[in-house]
Amino acid sequence: MSNVASPSTLQHAIPSYLPADNLGPWGIYLQQVDRVTPYLGSLARWVETLKRPKRALIVDVPIQMDDGRIAHFEGYRVQHNTSRGPGKGGVRFHQDVTLSEVMALSAWMSVKNAAVNVPYGGAKGGIRVDPRKLSSGELERLTRRYTSEIGIIIGPNKDIPAPDVNTNAQIMAWMMDTYSMNEGATATGVVTGKPIALGGSLGRREATGRGVFVVGSEAARNLGIDVKGARVVVQGFGNVGSVAAKLFHDAGAKVIAVQDHKGIVFNGSGLDVDALIKHVDHNGSVAGFAAETVSADDFWALDCEFLIPAALEGQITAKNAPHIKAKIVVEGANGPTTPEADDILRDRNILVCPDVIANAGGVTVSYFEWVQDFSSFFWTEDEINQRLVRIMQDAFRAIWQVAQDNKVTLRTAAFIIACTRILQARQERGLYP
């Protein structure tokens, strides 16, 4: 008997570098793809394309520390799919970053970019490091060395990094400069989220939080909920959470609770969001702000209209989902809800606005920045915000309609639209050679 595997076995074999147990972020992503496959029609023959990254680069990042030691850090850049355009996705600096996580985040970027119909594929990067333990000089050297190591696969027409967890405009400036020096010419379009002086876009810092607000407001309108007077609970108070909280507050909503990495603040009548933002800018955390507090368990069970998880992935789980009392969950973070929790919230008629649309404001304005860099013609902040709102509203309304037509969740509807666009592009391009 022959030991040679059949063609079908070879076709669907799990690559050795992928997690075989389907646990963690990559496993969550695969479950999401499996759920949408029955809705893809003839394009389902290409679905395996979505279940493995196009390219995954692991790099050693050695730098000299301030005390003279040579330290080595592990870095990644994953390009999940580039059928619709160059890779696009952030770079995170975090001590718990893994290849599996970065692969999942790159895949979600493929879906997110297709869901809002910007002409990008999906990519993501990261370094296993706690940046808070590095000096400014060490952080710069780490960033520049990492950029040089991944420089072989990034570029304005190949893969465009952006800020993510623990990275910011200064990190992007160092990345742009390093890439440009290596290329021998200034290439502002190699990254987005840059300082304005280096070709950055107005409105970029606030874009993800603004998108959360736009999507949340659209969802509320469809459910007959008035944003004015609505209660909002926010987990995470960085760029996304703080901007979303501020916009909801300015629209007349009451932000009653905020949680970050150091504490929880609560006021049933509504927190002073402007004062809280100033407190966090000065102290680095919501902890110590003049307000009440609640336990972590009670935080998730607060009565509210909007719950906005805007921190890390895997925050809403089978443990806390049964106790959530929000009418609408708007995912400001990437992958904050596990599939088990998703099912629980669906069965409890709690509307989940998924990350692939809810937090797509950032990549949408990154797209605007990239376009402006190529044209060397820059738009006003009002123009940027108006275009962002239009794209986010159009994308959400299309997803809502698909969800209604197919009687599926908004997440599945977003995946139906996005995966159809990705696989249609793949099919029309064909295979080369």
What contacts 163, CB < 8 A, 6 or more positions away?
A: 90, 91, 169, 171, 172, 193
Asked if residues 157 and 191 have their Cβ atoms less than 8 Å apart, the reply is no
How many angstroms separate the CA atoms of 28 and 334, rounded? 12
How many angstroms separate the CA atoms of 288 and 109, rounded? 36
The phi and psi torsions of 112 (rounded to 5 degrees) equal -60, -45
Helix ranges restricted to H, 49-196: 99-115, 136-150, 169-183
User: Hey, which bits of 133-237 come out as E strands?
Assistant: 159-163, 231-235
239 annotated as a binding-site residue:
yes
Token pair of 239 as six digits: 């760029």
What contacts 298, CB < 8 A, 6 or more positions away?
A: none
Instruction: Give the SS3 label for residue 222.
Output: helix
254 annotated as a binding-site residue:
no
Distances (CA, A) of 239 to 31, 153, 163, 303, 337: 29, 28, 11, 24, 20
147 annotated as a binding-site residue:
no
Strands of the 254-259 sheet, one edge to the other: 264-266, 254-259, 231-235, 303-309, 325-330, 351-353
By DSSP bridging, strand 87-94 and strand 122-128 are: parallel
Exposed (0-12), middle (13-18) or buried (19+): which is 390, by Cβ within 10 Å? exposed
Token pair of 43 as six digits: 């394009």
Catalytic residues: 124
How many angstroms separate the CA atoms of 47 and 381, rounded? 39
How many angstroms separate the CA atoms of 266 and 290, rounded? 9
208 annotated as a binding-site residue:
yes
Instruction: Please report, to the nearest 10 degrees, the dihedral formed by the alpha carbons of residues 18, 22, 24, 25 taken in order.
Output: 70
- Residues comprising the binding site? 88, 112, 208, 239, 366
- Residues comprising the binding site for NAD(+)? 208, 239
